[in-house]
Structure 1
Amino acid sequence: MKKIVSPLIGALLIAGLVACSKQGPESASTSSSAPASGAASGQAKIGLSISTLNNPFFVSLRKGAEDEAKKEGVTLITVDAQNDPAKQQASVEDLIEKKVSVILINPTDSSAVANVVKEATDKGIKVISLDRSVKGAEVSSHIASDNAAGGKMAADFLVEKLGGKGNIVELQGIPGSSAARERGTGFDDEAQAKGGVKIVTKQPADFDRAKGLSVMENIIQSNKDIQAVFAQNDEMALGAVKALQAAGLKNVAVVGFDATDDAMAAVKAGTMAATVQQQPELIGQYGVQTARKLMDGQSVDKSIPVPLNLFKQ
């Protein structure tokens, strides 16, 4: 026996099916068109691309960013480039895929990151550079200490320490990084302007302690007439100290840059003369605060300076 469906019930069933078929696509459309901003979606995400975490300075920078992210109630995703420009590009592309709202980038190479920074900004992701600038692409803000002023500060200290005369060795950071370029320019220009002192050699040691040791050892083998060393970061300065001690060279004034815990301990112990004191945790903190402002649609300064000091004996 066949079941007979009344015309009224049949009409209601058809109307219900039509309504369901319309509801699905509309819901999907609404979901896909929701604002990409993490702040708007309730899942605020900030990406942090660090040049290397094998350096106490950048570990402190990350800590400052992490602590501030907790206060701001945002998720911080950190990626480590391990001082490899290609790895940094790939990891930033991964942050773009994760749809972070803002990327904080500390470039391994200031020029090499330009393309991936453009890729991020083309997709509506704001980019803020930390400590090292981006060359060849525009960022929303650059947060850093005045590296050139820090180099000048180191030169003034050493010229006074040496009484206006003596031979200086300069250990340079990673070629192509803005920090190395700016610190070197500030130091070199001031040392030359003062006169009397002489920079006898400038060699890169890539901001690395082990390389600072080996490069300094090679320099000492060819010339022991050294009165001072300016290293463009503390890791290289600490490596240089070991090389000088092993060679039996005393009374050589070593100045670093960053004021890491190990460097400040060395200054207190008298094995280093001074270090230019940055505040890496503050750089990380300012980075997250600035990212939060951008996510909230606020305007930010193109350049945000972080104060410097000289930590000395």
Structure 2
Amino acid sequence: MKRVPAVTAALTAALALSLSGCDRGGNTDLGLALSTMNNPFFVGIKEGARAEAEARGLKINITDAQNDPIQQINQVETFTSQNVKAAVINPVDSDAAVPAVGVANRAKVPVISIDRGVNGGRVGSTIASDNVEGGRLAARTLAESLGGRGKVAFLEGQPGTSAARERGKGFEEGIRAYPGIEVVARQPADFDRTKGMDVMANMLQAHRDLVGVFAANDEMALGAAKALGSASGKRVKVVAFDGTPDGIAAVRTGTLTATVAQQPRLLGRQAVDWAVKAARGERLPARVKVPVVLVTKENADGFDG
């Protein structure tokens, strides 16, 4: 289907009608290209987006790139062939996602990014947790749990993603307020549980006197906790980021000291809302920040992400 470059008032009105759940002609309304579904956080985004789309009577195609940027480009191409009115992308990599956004741009399909930004192309808005503030909160929580003193390690996320960069920035800023805390090791573990365990095991070989760990997501923190064994949450304080069901359960048992919880279902619902606005041609803010929540043993039972 060839799209007319200029969006007329009549087309805008027809689009608004289509996105209210009427006269879709069998086409898919929205596409959501997730980086992976092998992570509870992104499953939460999927569930939130699907629930919001269903509530609005919209058809949504949700895909899993399995952390492959080439596959993500192909999935966005599929969205355009399905005549979607807007596409939401959760980039595998903030740079590598630029060609995928370009596919949508050339097809005149508005794009919203979620959780991670895209370093190029035309993106209507980026909806993400306040990762920098979350990193600062993690630093403060870890430092205070250690009484402001001790050697700590930092498990970074997947290089090339805005989430990893922003959480690291916030953590670095926050930890500078505690001169008694020394970050003696830092290494990416790609937001992956198994890699988190392996990286933590290697760090412990070199730094047996570690008393604290910040992991930039729950999956890496749970891997680190496995490497730490019975010391996790006790002799070695572990602060995570995400607020996944497994992460919250580990906070409840004391295996993790705390997690800076995102709200993935809320992110997914808001992504659909902003995608609909983009499809209708509404002016959007460049960034929409969703607040994070600190979850500790004291409030874990009442937390619902």
TM-score, scaled to structure 1: 0.85
Give the corresponding residue for 2:262.
278
Give the corresponding residue for 2:173.
189
Number of aligned pairs?
Answer: 281
Give the corresponding residue for 2:37.
53
2:214 equivalent to 1:230: yes
Cα displacement (A) at 1:102: 0.7
Which of these residues, 40, 62, 79, is aligned with residue 95 of structure 1? 79
Q: In the TM superposition, what whole-angstrom CA distance separates every residue of 1:229-279 from its partner, at most 9, and x where no partner exists? A: 100000000000010007899511001101111111111101100000110
State whether residues 132 and 169 of structure 2, in contact with CA within 8 Å, keep that contact through their aligned partners in structure 1: yes
Q: In the TM superposition, what whole-angstrom CA distance separates every residue of 1:67-102 from its partner, at most 9, and x where no partner exists? A: 000011111101101111222122222222222111
Give the corresponding residue for 1:139.
123
Give the corresponding residue for 2:197.
213
State whether residues 30 and 85 of structure 2, in contact with CA within 8 Å, keep that contact through their aligned partners in structure 1: yes
Aligned counterparts of 2:62 and 2:123: Cα–Cα separation in 1: 19
Give the corresponding residue for 1:107.
91
2:37 equivalent to 1:63: no
Aligned counterparts of 1:87 and 1:246: Cα–Cα separation in 2: 40
Which of these residues, 147, 151, 167, is aligned with residue 151 of structure 2? 167
Q: Which moved more, 1:162-171 or 1:291-300?
A: 291-300
Which of these residues, 225, 236, 244, is aligned with residue 241 of structure 1? 225
Aligned counterparts of 2:279 and 2:103: Cα–Cα separation in 1: 18
- Give the SS at the match of 2:176: helix
TM-score, scaled to structure 2: 0.87
Aligned counterparts of 1:155 and 1:261: Cα–Cα separation in 2: 22
Q: In the TM superposition, what whole-angstrom CA distance separates every residue of 1:193-215 from its partner, at most 9, and x where no partner exists? A: 33110111111111011111111
Q: Between Structure 1 and Structure 2, which shows a larger proportion of helix residues?
A: 1
Give the corresponding residue for 2:249.
265
Aligned counterparts of 1:161 and 1:102: Cα–Cα separation in 2: 45
Aligned counterparts of 1:200 and 1:133: Cα–Cα separation in 2: 29
- Percent identical pairs in the alignment equals 47
Shift in CA distance, 83/288, structure 1 to aligned 2, threshold 3 Å: same
Aligned counterparts of 2:232 and 2:45: Cα–Cα separation in 1: 35
5+ unaligned residues in a row in structure 2: which ranges?
3-9, 298-305
Cα displacement (A) at 1:41: 5.1
State whether residues 72 and 100 of structure 2, in contact with CA within 8 Å, keep that contact through their aligned partners in structure 1: no
Shift in CA distance, 296/136, structure 1 to aligned 2, threshold 3 Å: closer
